Every structure is written in C-alpha cells, then in structure tokens.
A and B are shown apart, each in its own frame.
Chain A
C-alpha cells in the first residue's frame, strides 16, 4: 500500500542529504564552468574592428576582468548566492538574471508540456503494447518507437513545419503567442522521450507480468484490470522513474534545438546566441540554471521513488 508518511524522520534525513548533494553538484559545476570560461581562448571583446588598448582596459576594469582570478571568482559566487548572475557582455541594458527571468518561463512551459505529452502518450501505448504483446498493433507501436528514438529532433521539427505548416497550412510558425503555436514544438521535443518511455514501459511490464506476485494476484481472483494497474504497473514504475532524470536532461538540451528551429524566445535560444557571441556571464548563468533545474528534477524523482517503492523508505 502506498501510504503518505513522507515526512518521517528517515525521509527528512534523506531529503536533507539529497539537498546537500544537489548543492555540492551545483558548486562543482559553477566552479568548473567558471574556470573553463576563464581559460577558453578568445575574449568577449574580440571583434572585427580592433579596439584601442585604452578602451579594452576600460572595459576590463568595468567588468572587473583586471582583478586576479580568485577575486573574480569570489565576487561572482557572492553574487550568485544573492541571485545576481552578473552583467551580460552583449545586452548592455540588462543583467543575466533579468534575461533568464524573462526567458526561463517560456522554456519551462515548453519542457513541461513536452514531458506531459510524453507521459500521456507513452503510458497508454506501453500498456497496450505489453497487454497485446506480439500482436500486429504491438509490432507497429514498437516499430514507430524505434524510428522515433533515431529521429533527431531538428529533422522532426523541420518535417513537421514543412508538412503541417507549409504544405497543409494548418498552423502558423514563427510565433509564440497562443496555444496553437505550442503544438508543433511540444510534439517535436516530446517525441523521443515518448518513444523511449513507451518501449521501456512495455518491456518492464512484460517482465513484471511473469513475476510470482502477479500470478498470486491472479490466483486470488482479482480482476485483470486490477492486476495490471495495481500490481504490475506500480511495480514497473520503478525503472521508469530511474530514467526520468536523464530524460529531463534530454528535454533541457532538446529545448536548445527546438527553440532554435521554431524561433521560440526561450532560454535555450539565448544560450546558443551567447555561445556564438562568447557572452561568458550569460553562458555561465544559463549553465547554472540548467544544472539547478536538473538537480531539482532528480530530487523530485528521489521523492517519487520512495513513494512508489516502500523498501527505499525503510533504508
């Protein structure tokens, strides 16, 4: 039985430990990225036109680039703790925090919808395919999933734009203002996770169905739907949960590409531009936000774990 004694002592301790681990990961990533960007060749002020040395000196003084590296590091980390990710080299009127605050919600909406799409499509499909395993429909589903896993999201995005927007004229592209502009990007971003989740769920379900406890449940005379939903499906959720973390990572990085393809004003698009511009503070800020999001996703997964699998709660 799933009981909700999440806030027991062991759970709290586990939660605290995970949080500390997450903070450690964040700090490691921040430090490594900081160092990496300091030793990366080429500077933000390299341009076609050679700037006079005085101008460069002034710019460096403005952004504190003339200080020793450890001082820059402390200054930056101090800012991060207070939620200040520094100035952008490229967008002179806005700080990195402002840019992220403006673009992050867009990316989160896109990523969240894609995840929702993946779960809503993959669960029924996987369940259905497992139940009617080796049937024609099962093979079709799995063949489509195999194709979906190999289809790069920029290829799928381009294909959808060409077919749905340009040939059929059903949807418009290049906009991000109402629900209809979300559909194609959501499908593009969610397709690979859907395919992956569906085939994973199918294979774990098939494995679970031959376990002893499922046979026992059947022998007790439970209805088949109860056997599947209550016993088999719940048990199969554990391997599915293990991949949610990597899947969240895949969605994050997929969003770079999808936002590029569909010209969506999200954080991923800004990140790509920042890389081309060598806008180091913006690169650094976005990296930190991505890592923080991932750490949170993994934390949630850990909590869900203990909800699904009572053995973890006891440990």
Chain B
C-alpha cells in the first residue's frame, strides 16, 4: 500500500539481536555477570564507568553491569509471564464471546469495555494492594489488566471467520462445535494473537519498571532474582545530580528493550497480519 516500506530491515534485525541479548542476560546472568549479585565493595562506591566496572558502581559499591544483567530476569519474567496469563485468559474469553454471539457476546463485551476504559496503572496499583508486592502478585495484577486486549482481538477474529464459507461447510458436514473452534477458527486467529502477544510483552515491562521507579513495584531488595531495572533507575534518579552514570544504564536497558520488542512487533504485524495496519 502507500505506507513507506519499513526504512531498513536492519532495524528489525538489530531489535531481534537486542531481544536475544536480553534473553541471554536473563538466562545466563549468574555465569556472565562479572561480579557476584549483592557483592559490595566499600572502596568502590559510586565509581564512574571504568575497565573493572564497565557501567560503574552504585552507592553501596555494587557493580552496575551485574545488577543490570540480573535485572533482565525480572523484566523478562514479568513480560513473558503477563503475556502468557493474558493470552490464555483473554483469548479463551474472546473465543467464547465471539462463538456464542448474541446476548452472551453483548454482556461479555460490556465487561471488557469497563476494563478497557480504566487506566491500567490505576488497576495495577489497586490490585497490587490485594496481591502484595511480589513478582507473583504483580503478574496476576498485570495479567488481569492486559487480557482485555486479547479478548477484543480474539472475538473480532472469530466473528469474522465464523461467517466464512469453509466454516459453514464444516458445520454442514456435521463437525462438532469444539472441532470447528479448534480446527477451523483457531488457525485463523493465530496471526493477530501473536502480534498482540509481542506488543503485550513490552507494555508489561514498561508497567513493571514504572511501578518500581515510583517505589510501589516489587518490594524484595535482596531477591536472588535480581533487582528490577525500574528500582535501579529510581536509585540512579536520586543520585542523578552528582552521579548521572547510575541512572544511565538501567534507563537505557528499559528503553532499548521496549523499543526492540515494539519494533519486532511491528515487523511481525507486517508479515502475519497485513490487514491491521
């Protein structure tokens, strides 16, 4: 169509590379990190980047590269976990609503509308009061908010596909409802759902790091999992006047991760779901 060709696919390749790096950092953090997690050196406090500490150290003398590498675990776990929860919840909800149709559909979509109109961050915060400020609670809270996007997409696709001739012929041949749903409708909604999935990962990462930045995210400072990039950025923000290097690396990590996932999502959308531009 008339939209410009994606400037260069180099951008998509670089994004894929960066996402790959985040995955490597998250899965191999204990082996590739230069220092032990939580290791403090009193004589190395607030060092600017150097050969021994590539990204510098923080106020307690902890190596920032180590902390950022471990932080990838939190971000990725939150991103993937939320995406998975909302995928299962939202897609099945949307499938049922679209497949049942009529009043059921109407009622179910009204509920979705109410959720959709409320600010995500407000719901996360309220739900985190209920589920506690740990990674499990955060996953549930984020999942409970982002499922609506999947529900909308899945329902829309079902409504479109349901009327197509091959579904009708399957029905005429006496296929059961379950079979129609699984064999004929599901394959047609996979593309848009994968695209939604790719976009829901960065928005969960954004939400988690934002909550951590304003100090109401995961509250577990000595977790063996690592500290959220948002918390690292908050530490850095407080010291920004004199030690700007402390905020630079976590902020760049958050930005580049979200940017890479979004770029990948756009690329995938062009391939899998060209109608939805």
Contacts and interface: CB of A to CB of B under 8 A. Distances in A.
B12 to A, nearest CB: 12
A28 interface: yes
A249 B255 contact: no
A161 B114 CA distance: 37
B271 interface: no
Contact of A150 (B119, B129, B202): B202
A288 to B, nearest CB: 11
Given A155-B251, A159-B251, A257-B210, A252 B119 contact: yes
11 contacts: A25-B117, A33-B126, A36-B126, A143-B7, A147-B259, A152-B213, A155-B251, A206-B3, A253-B122, A283-B129, A290-B122
Nearest to B206: A152
Contacts of B259: 146-147, 150-151
A225 interface: no
Contacts of B74: none
B241 interface: yes
A40 interface: yes
A209 to B, nearest CB: 8
A69 to B, nearest CB: 16
Interface string B107-121: 000000010111111
B216 A158 contact: no
Contact of B129 (A40, A158, A210, A260): A40
Interface in A216-254: 245-246, 249-250, 252-253
Interface in A134-190: 134, 138-139, 142-143, 146-147, 149-155, 158-159, 161-162, 166
**How many A residues touch the partner, as a band?**
35 or more
- Contact residues of B: prevailing secondary structure: helix
A162 B240 contact: yes
Interface of A: 25, 28-29, 33, 36-37, 39-41, 133-134, 138-139, 142-143, 146-147, 149-155, 158-159, 161-162, 166, 203, 206-207, 210, 245-246, 249-250, 252-253, 256-257, 260-261, 271-272, 275-276, 278, 283, 287, 290-291, 294, 298
A313 B210 CA distance: 41
Given A39-B130, A261-B237, A151 B255 contact: yes
The CB with the most chain B CB atoms within 10 A, among A139, A162, A253, is that of A253
Contacts of A260: 213-214
B4 A275 contact: no
Contacts of B213: 152, 154, 257, 260
A272 B215 contact: yes
A276 B130 contact: no
Closest 7 CB pairs of A and B: A253-B121, A150-B259, A249-B119, A253-B119, A40-B129, A134-B4, A155-B251
Nearest to B2: A206
B122 A287 contact: yes
**How many B residues touch the partner, as a band?**
35 or more
Contacts of A246: 116-117
Given A146-B262, A147-B259, A152-B258, A161 B215 contact: no
B233 interface: yes
A312 to B, nearest CB: 17
Contacts of B117: 25, 245-246, 249, 294, 298
Contacts of B129: 36-37, 40, 275, 278, 283
B233 A276 contact: no
A149 B244 CA distance: 24
Nearest to A286: B122
Nearest to B258: A150
Contacts of B116: 246
B86 interface: no
Interface string B201-240: 0100010011001111000000000000010010011001
Contacts of B240: 158, 161-162, 166
The CB with the most chain B CB atoms within 10 A, among A161, A210, A249, A298, is that of A249
